[in-house]
Amino acid sequence: MLHKTRGIVFNQIKYSETSVIAKIYTELFGLQSYLIRGVRNKKSKIKPALLQHLSLVDLVVYHKERKDIQHIKEIISACQFNSIPFDIKKSAIVIFLNEILYKSIKEEEANTELFNFLFNSIQILDLKKNRVSNFHLLFLIQLTKFLGFFPKGNFSNENITFDLQEGIFIKSEITTEYLIGMPFSKYLFDLTNSSFEDLGSLLILPKYRNELLITILKYYRLHLPGFSSIKSYQVLQTVFNE
């Protein structure tokens, strides 16, 4: 049976000389693997840009339950990027977030709220004209709402420490590998209470940004079994340190 659905491209691997298998997170079916024939042929109507990192697409697909590889009848752009391919910082963010999503989302079932969050966030990044240096940090913290380990509690004059293992702000002045103190605990709290509309007023000193990212990635590893190291982190670090 044919179905129409929106999708977000995570990655692609070569299947044959002219075909690829693309991992696409869909609105109707969650994460699926799709065989796309002929896309590597020079005469293919499917442009390579459609299968780039986090491309937003409209699909017509065949879907069979419990089948490892599904088939696509039609794929077109749902939103053509205006700035991401031409902005080195935005491109680095997309590559980084793509790797995060590929390693954290495994569900082969629909999750409309998560899908809408991802779809809308990518569009927002493309439309942002400046101040995107903290976009990936805000995205990572907001994503934890859907992954099940959004930070709990409130930062205050007493609760100045964040417990990475328990995911909560606590009363403690001790800092360890898993107990995070100022200024990082305050930055984490600010991220939990911010939206993408607040990016312009979200103040994180550049000298702390890399260590804050390392802290958030540690938080992910503690709460997502099998979450491995992120290779694109170094590219992101290089771009934002220039």
pLDDT tens-digit readout, 94-111:
999 999 999 999 887 899
Identify residue 199 by its one-letter amino acid code.
L
pLDDT tens-digit readout, 107-133:
878 999 999 999 999 999 999 988 899
pLDDT tens-digit readout, 32-79:
999 988 776 777 777 777 889 999 999 999 898 878 898 999 999 999
pLDDT for residue 242: 56
- Asked if the model's pLDDT at residue 238 lies above 60, the reply is yes
Which of the four CATH numbers 1.20.58.100, 3.40.50.740, 2.60.40.10, 1.20.1440.120 does domain 82-242 have?
Answer: 1.20.1440.120
Residue limits of CATH 1.20.1440.120 in the chain: 82-242
Taking each continuous run of H as one helix and of E as one strand, the counts in the chain are 6, 8
pLDDT for residue 22: 93
* DSSP letters spanning 99-150: HHHHHH----S--HHHHHHHHHHHHHHHH--S--TTHHHHHHHHHHHHHT--
pLDDT for residue 173: 82
Mean pLDDT confidence for 8-15: 90
Q: What's the burial of 187, exposed, middle or buried (CB within 10 Å: 0-12/13-18/19+)? A: buried
Residue limits of CATH 2.40.50.140 in the chain: 1-80
Domain 1-80: top CATH class: mainly beta
pLDDT for residue 104: 94
pLDDT tens-digit readout, 152-208:
999 998 899 999 999 999 998 888 999 999 999 999 999 999 999 988 888 898 889
